[in-house]
Chains A and B, each alone.
Chain A
Amino acid sequence: GQSLEQPSEVTAVEGAIVQINCTYQTSGFYGLSWYQQHDGGAPTFLSYNALDGLEETGRFSSFLSRSDSYGYLLLQELQMKDSASYFCALGGGGFKTIFGAGTRLFVKA
């Protein structure tokens, strides 16, 4: 089967850089995505890695290493509005997507 592991909580200071890790187990693999969800809201897509390496989108970057079954989301220049839950998601064949349990990020002033 497929499974993903993320830390349950991360705390960082405004203006700092934070890394949220995601390790996974899968027999088939089509890419690792990241989503942000504010309390009570809908998840919004942040980034997707199909290949090994770093993808950068503004203040957000995502990294994937298939050989290590590992990825991370990097948030730079943290802002208070970045306080939210972040989910990694594994894309498998046939449109089936498995989400991790999420990492709650607290940004402190």
Chain B
Amino acid sequence: DGGITQSPKYLFRKEGQNVTLSCEQNLNHDAMYWYRQDPGQGLRLIYYSQIVNDFQKGDIAEGYSVSREKKESFPLTVTSAQKNPTAFYLCASSGLSSYNEQFFGPGTRLTVL
């Protein structure tokens, strides 16, 4: 079955530590996205990538970094510079001609203690 996987589902880290969230897709999609969702809020775009080895900042990129070395993978690193990292992180992908229809992974709930 095609889809997007994110791991782990729950992640706990101490303040000041960097943490990397995994996102893998086997939908053969060119575009991938990272969103942050806070309780009772909508999704805010962190980074997105249209092609391997290229990515752009979204609205809230400060304190985050990404890489896109493979088409299937788009890991997100939450750095210690992110002031309030506790949130639900969602990865998504889409085709190049259908970016208005995004497919989401199950999400990673990050808690920084």
Contact = CB atoms under 8 A, between A and B. Distances in A.
Interface of A: 30-31, 33, 41-45, 48, 50, 87, 89, 91, 94-102
B42 A95 contact: no
Given A33-B100, A96-B48, A97-B99, A42 B105 contact: yes
A48 B104 contact: no
Contacts of B59: 98
A41 B105 CA distance: 9
Contact of B45 (A41, A96, A100): A96
Contact of A45 (B43, B58, B102, B107): B102
Interface of B: 31, 33, 35, 40-45, 48, 50, 56, 58-59, 90, 92, 94, 99-107
Contacts of A43: 43, 90, 92, 102, 104
A83 B104 CA distance: 19
B50 to A, nearest CB: 6
21 contacts: A31-B100, A41-B107, A42-B104, A42-B105, A42-B106, A43-B43, A43-B90, A44-B104, A45-B102, A45-B103, A89-B100, A91-B100, A94-B50, A95-B48, A95-B94, A95-B99, A98-B59, A99-B35, A99-B42, A101-B42, A102-B41
